[in-house]
Every structure is written in structure tokens, then in C-alpha cells.
């Protein structure tokens, strides 16, 4: 009796599982071979210590370059930060906003008591409707990692080296 | 298994894209020529600053606008999402572009035209801005740098075209390419994000037969040729603002 019941139960569970597996759903991060948070930190546009201390300066510089001069490079663009680090929805499928504690930016800003107003105007999550492939895969050429596509900086001239190694007399110490 | 599913997903996505491309190719030749004119933009590499070599402008032929420009306004609304202000009074609501109806009381002759920022060469809104937020980009596009806008609304007073509006309420879910927020002034920016990508502004795409978009500095561009042939009026030409948006048929 019980064995018959358990057989029926098992069969229905299997059927349900098969049904779920067969459903075509939007691919998850794992399906798309997207990066985990740790990999993202390794592939970020600047080394981790730089991005932690200087991201606000980079964003400030980028915003002026974009607004005034029309420069739209991706390496320090807020939109690309969002595309890479913030998921479009929460675990339960509802839209993720800056006010939510699982928002990538909020996780730190809440801890350090930082109030920012970027997201009063800017979109705080990827615009999936506009671009479904907003995120690039790990190690792809679309990345904006600081070692990608950056030509070697010109070697400092002897005068520049001198300026650094032998500060001028009277210069502020 | 997982990889197959991704491939399948990509295939569907590409197929969908193909449909979009096919729809785009049935546009009339007139439109395609303009698309190529705007397609000159990507010669500017996006890590280079814009220059005054080009000056973007458009000619709107209102005799070919069957709806008086309502379609253009709707396209703008959809592109920038500026109809999302339920808490504001009617006179406070955003209006990046609006349809203006004109009637001569004597003769009864009437027409409608879409009015948005006219992208003046000498913009009064830029003259009065105390912070430099109201600005003209080197390629002639007049826009608000909302990062430094303090919301004083002098520019709204100064604009003879009533092109600017103020955001009175907190917003969420803005477009990623068109940030808008409470406490700042906003107006038509000629779809600057599209121009930088080499695409036509949304309103031009919505009325391809009636609007010619292009570089006013290039005498051979379609818009310059059309202006040469058809004339093209400025609204309030008496103000000597040399607007970038011109009209035919008013």
C-alpha cells in the first residue's frame, strides 16, 4: 500500500522535475558563463585597491567627459559598472533597486554610511529591455579590464624622472 | 547541455534581431539616405571629444506631417520615458516636445507643428544659467548637465520656445541612456546618445518622410541641400538665435 503510494509520488515528482527542466526559461548567470563576484573583482576595470578608493573620482571625471565632450568610453562608465555588478532582479524576480540591501553599490555604502545621489537620475540596474546581452562573458574581448586594449604608457622623460627623484629646492615637502 | 541552451537562446535572440533589421530595410529610400547622413557620425571615435566641425540640425516639413507631429512627440516620450510623472499637475508635467496648434483668427487658417528645443546657436538658456549646467556641446546640441544643475529654472524663463521643463517628483526606472531626476531641468537633447552611436534621433525615425536630419555645417549634407532648395523658417527668427531646428510650411 505504502509502496504503491510512494511509487506514484515518486513518478509525479519525476514528471514535475522533467517538466521544469523542459521549460524554456531565460538563461541564468551560470548558463551564460557570466562571472562570479570574485572573478568580477579580478577582472574589474582597475585593480581592486584602486577601484575601492578611487571609483568616485573616476566616475566624476567620466561624467564630465561624457556630458561636455561627448566621450563615451566604457572603462569608467557608470552604466558598465551597473551592467557588470548589479543583477536586474532580486532572487524573487522583482526589480532590484539601489534602496535594497542586496544592490551591489548599497552593500558597501550602507556599511560606511555613504549617501550618494547617482541613482536619483541614473538607472540603478541593467536595462534588460534595451539590451538583453548587457553583460559580457568572463575573459571576453568586450571586457574593459585595465590590461585590455591599453597601450604601453610612454616612458617618462629624463626631465620627468629628475623632477620626481630630485624635488626642486623650496618645493612644499 | 547548458551550453546548448545558451546557443539556443542566442539563436532566438539573433532571429529576433533579424526581424528588426528586415523591418528597417523596408523604409523608403528618402529615409535611408538620411540614415546614411547620420551614419557619418561613427567616424568620430568615442574616446575623442566632439568638435565644432559638425553642427547637428533638422528640417521639419509640416506639410508632410499628417498628425501635426503627435507621432514624433510620442516617439520622444517612449525613448526618454518622460510621461512618468503621476504626482505633477498638468502644467508641471515634463514636455520635451509638444504639439503646438496655430490658428489665424482672421482667415481661419490653422496648422500644427511639433516644438522642442530648437538648439540655438546663441541659446538664451545658456546665457542665463548661473552654474554652467545649461550648455551647448561643440556640435551644436543644447542640453542640461544635470550633475551641476541646481534647479533654479532661470533657463525655463529664458527660453522663448518653452522647451524646458522641471522634474517635480522622485523618479525610478529611468532609461539607462537618458538619466532624469527630481530637482533638475530637462529638455530635448536631440537624442544625444543616439547621435553618438550614429543613429537618428527618435522623432526623426518616427517621421522619416517629414524630417531631414544632418550636419548643417556641411553644404552637401541632405539637410543643407534641402534647406537650400526649400528655405526653411525659424520660429521667432526675429530673436536672431540661429536655430538648429527649421520648419517648412509654417
Q: A64 CB near a chain B CB, below 8 Å?
A: yes
d(CA A57, CA B203): 36
Q: Which three cell numbers stand for residue B77?
A: 516620450
Contacts of residue B196 in chain A, CB cutoff 8 Å? 70, 72
Contacts of residue B5 in chain A, CB cutoff 8 Å? 27, 31
Contact flag A70-B50 (C-beta cutoff 8 Å): yes
Q: B47 CB near a chain A CB, below 8 Å?
A: yes
Q: What is the mean pLDDT of residues B96-108?
A: 95
Please, which pLDDT band fits residue A4 given cuts at 50, 70 and 90?
low
Instruction: Please tell me the predicted confidence (pLDDT) of residue B21.
Output: 42
Contact flag A30-B2 (C-beta cutoff 8 Å): yes
Helix (H, G, I), strand (E, B) or coil at A171: coil
Q: A126 CB near a chain B CB, below 8 Å?
A: yes
Sheet holding B245-248, edge to edge: B211-215, B56-61, B245-248
Contacts of residue B235, Cβ cutoff 8 Å, sequence gap at least 6: B115, B118, B161, B243, B247, B250
Asked if pLDDT for residue B110 goes beyond 60, the answer is yes
Q: A133 CB near a chain B CB, below 8 Å?
A: yes
Q: What is the pLDDT of residues A44-60, one digit of tens each?
A: 888 888 999 999 999 99
Could you tell me the end-to-end alpha-carbon distance of chain A, in angstroms, rounded to an integer?
Answer: 90
**Percent of all residues in chain A with a pLDDT value above 90, rounded to a whole number:** 25
**In chain A, whose CA is at the least distance from the CA of B192?**
A70
**In chain B, whose CA is at the least distance from the CA of A132?**
B13
Specify whether the CB–CB gap between B104 and B228 falls below 8 A.
no
d(CA B149, CA B143): 11
Helices vs. strands in chain A: H and E counts, helices first: 7, 0
d(CA A48, CA B121): 45
Residue B3 lies in a domain: no
Specify whether the CB–CB gap between B214 and B207 falls below 8 A.
no
Instruction: Please tell me the predicted confidence (pLDDT) of residue A172.
Output: 46
Residue B10 lies in a domain: no
Q: Which three cell numbers stand for residue A8?
A: 506514484
Instruction: Please tell me the predicted confidence (pLDDT) of residue A8.
Output: 56
Grid cell 562573458 in the structure block, residue: A137
Instruction: Please tell me the predicted confidence (pLDDT) of residue B16.
Output: 45
Asked if pLDDT for residue B167 goes beyond 90, the answer is yes
Q: What is the CATH number of the domain that holds B129?
A: 3.30.70.20
Q: Domain of B52?
A: 29-248
User: A170: distance to nearest CA of chain B, Å?
Assistant: 37
Instruction: Please tell me the predicted confidence (pLDDT) of residue B250.
Output: 86
**Percent of all residues in chain A with a pLDDT value above 70, rounded to a whole number:** 58
Q: Which three cell numbers stand for residue B35?
A: 540614415
3-state secondary structure B87-142: CCCHHHCCCCEEEEEEECCCCCCEEEEEEECCCCCCCHHHHHCCCCCEEECCCCCE
d(CA A99, CA B1): 37
Instruction: Please tell me the predicted confidence (pLDDT) of residue A135.
Output: 74
Q: What is the pLDDT of residues B122-131, one digit of tens each?
A: 999 999 999 9
Query: Of the given ranges (A6-10, A137-141, A142-146), which has the lowest mean pLDDT?
Result: A6-10
Contacts of residue A33 in chain B, CB cutoff 8 Å? 6
d(CA B221, CA B212): 10
Residue B176 lies in a domain: yes
Residue B143's H or E segment, with its range, is strand B142-144
Query: Of the given ranges (A28-37, B99-108, B172-181), which has the lowest mean pLDDT?
Result: A28-37
Q: Which three cell numbers stand for residue A2?
A: 505504502
What is the tally of structural domains in chain B? 1
Specify whether the CB–CB gap between B149 and B179 falls below 8 A.
no
d(CA B96, CA B71): 14
Task: Give whole-number Cα distances, B157 to A17, B58, B120, B237, in Å.
Answer: 64, 25, 16, 19
Contact flag A31-B137 (C-beta cutoff 8 Å): no
Pick from A121, A123, A117, A116: which is nearest to A95 by CA? Answer: A123
Classify the C-alpha dihedral A15-A16-A20-A21 as positive or negative: negative
Q: Which three cell numbers stand for residue B218?
A: 556641411
Amino acid at each position: 500500500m505504502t509502496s504503491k503510494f510512494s511509487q506514484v509520488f515518486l513518478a509525479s515528482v519525476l514528471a514535475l522535475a522533467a517538466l521544469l527542466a523542459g521549460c524554456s526559461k531565460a538563461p541564468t548567470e551560470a548558463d551564460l558563463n557570466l562571472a562570479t563576484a570574485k572573478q568580477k573583482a579580478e577582472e574589474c576595470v582597475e585593480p581592486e585597491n584602486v577601484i575601492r578608493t578611487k571609483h568616485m573620482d573616476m566616475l566624476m571625471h567620466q561624467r564630465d567627459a561624457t556630458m561636455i565632450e561627448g566621450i563615451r568610453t566604457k572603462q569608467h562608465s557608470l552604466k558598465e559598472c551597473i551592467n557588470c555588478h548589479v543583477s536586474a532582479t532580486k532572487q524573487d524576480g522583482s526589480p532590484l533597486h539601489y534602496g535594497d540591501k542586496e544592490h551591489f553599490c548599497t552593500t558597501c555604502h550602507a556599511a560606511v554610511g555613504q549617501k550618494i545621489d547617482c541613482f536619483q537620475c541614473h538607472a540603478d540596474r541593467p536595462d534588460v529591455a534595451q539590451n538583453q546581452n548587457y553583460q559580457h562573458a568572463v575573459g571576453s574581448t568586450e571586457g574593459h579590464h585595465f590590461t585590455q586594449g591599453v597601450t604601453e604608457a610612454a616612458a617618462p622623460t629624463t626631465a620627468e624622472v629628475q623632477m620626481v627623484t630630485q624635488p626642486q629646492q623650496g618645493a612644499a615637502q | 547541455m547548458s551550453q546548448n541552451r545558451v546557443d539556443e537562446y542566442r539563436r532566438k535572440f539573433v532571429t529576433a534581431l533579424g526581424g528588426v533589421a528586415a523591418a528597417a530595410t523596408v523604409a523608403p529610400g528618402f529615409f535611408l539616405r538620411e540614415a546614411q547622413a547620420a551614419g557619418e557620425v561613427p567616424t568620430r571615435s568615442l574616446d575623442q571629444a566632439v568638435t565644432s566641425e559638425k553642427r547637428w540640425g533638422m528640417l521639419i516639413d509640416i506639410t508632410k506631417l499628417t498628425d501635426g507631429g503627435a507621432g514624433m512627440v510620442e516617439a520622444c516620450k517612449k525613448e526618454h520615458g518622460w510621461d512618468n510623472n503621476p504626482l505633477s499637475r498638468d502644467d508641471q508635467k515634463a514636455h520635451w516636445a509638444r504639439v503646438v496648434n496655430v490658428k489665424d483668427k482672421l482667415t481661419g487658417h490653422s496648422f500644427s507643428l511639433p516644438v522642442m528645443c530648437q538648439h540655438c546657436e546663441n541659446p538664451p538658456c545658456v546665457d542665463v544659467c548661473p552654474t554652467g549646467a545649461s550648455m551647448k556641446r561643440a556640435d551644436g546640441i543644447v542640453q542640461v548637465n544635470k550633475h551641476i544643475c541646481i534647479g533654479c529654472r532661470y533657463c525655463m524663463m529664458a527660453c522663448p520656445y518653452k522647451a524646458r521643463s522641471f522634474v517635480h517628483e522622485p523618479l525610478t526606472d529611468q532609461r539607462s541612456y537618458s538619466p532624469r531626476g527630481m530637482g533638475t531641468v530637462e529638455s530635448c537633447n536631440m537624442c544625444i546618445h543616439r547621435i553618438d552611436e550614429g543613429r537618428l534621433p527618435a522623432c526623426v525615425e518616427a517621421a522619416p518622410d517629414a524630417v531631414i536630419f544632418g550636419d548643417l555645417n556641411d553644404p552637401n549634407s541632405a539637410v543643407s541641400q534641402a534647406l537650400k532648395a526649400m528655405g526653411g523658417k525659424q520660429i521667432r527668427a526675429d530673436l536672431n538665435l540661429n536655430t538648429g531646428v527649421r520648419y517648412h510650411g509654417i
